[in-house]
């Protein structure tokens, strides 16, 4: 299965390149810290389900740099990331791409 292949990735915490499988999101040195932050974000979303939490509010309230919060969107274990304009843009681009493919 391709998903077990290692690929070159950027660690969102320290910026170092490392080899990891599809669900390895941080380098070995930052893995523990990454898990801790992921728990914090998960708890935050759990505690404020009705609130319009955005990437920016998570970043601000949990004191995590926005670039790192965004990295969590790519984590396959993390499906419950909130919407914001940035994500709406990406969805728009994705839909456009699908429509392009359908036409060709």
Let me know: does 77 contact 23? Beta carbons within 8 Å. Answer: yes
Which of 12-20, 38-46, 83-91, 95-103 is the region at the interface with Zn ion (rule: CB under 5 A)?
A: 12-20
Cβ proximity to Zn ion: between 65 and 92 the closer is 65
Cβ proximity to Zn ion: between 27 and 69 the closer is 27
Let me know: does 14 contact 29? Beta carbons within 8 Å. Answer: yes
Ramachandran category for residue 83: left, alpha or beta (phi over 0 → left; psi -120 to 50 → alpha):
beta
Which of 10-18, 38-46, 61-69, 91-99 is the region at the interface with Zn ion (rule: CB under 5 A)?
A: 10-18
Is residue 13 within the footprint of Zn ion (CB under 5 A)? Answer: yes
Is residue 11 within the footprint of Zn ion (CB under 5 A)? Answer: yes
Which of residues 27, 55, 64, 69 is near Zn ion by CB under 5 A? 27
Q: What angle do CA 24, 76, 61 make, to 5 degrees?
A: 95
Residue with tokens 């759990």: 46
Please give the residue ranges that form the binding site for Zn ion (CB under 5 A).
11, 13-14, 27, 30
């Amino acid at each position: 299965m391709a998903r077990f292949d290692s690929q070159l990735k950027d660690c969102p915490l320290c910026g170092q390149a490392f080899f990891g499988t599809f669900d390895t999101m941080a380098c070995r040195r930052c893995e523990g810290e990454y898990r801790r932050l992921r728990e914090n974000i998960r708890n935050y979303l759990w505690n404020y389900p009705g609130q319009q939490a955005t990437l920016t509010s998570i970043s601000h309230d949990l004191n995590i740099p926005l670039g790192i919060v965004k990295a969590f969107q790519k984590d396959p274990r993390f499906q419950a990331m909130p919407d914001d304009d940035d994500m709406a843009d990406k969805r728009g681009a994705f839909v456009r791409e699908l429509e392009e493919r359908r036409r060709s």
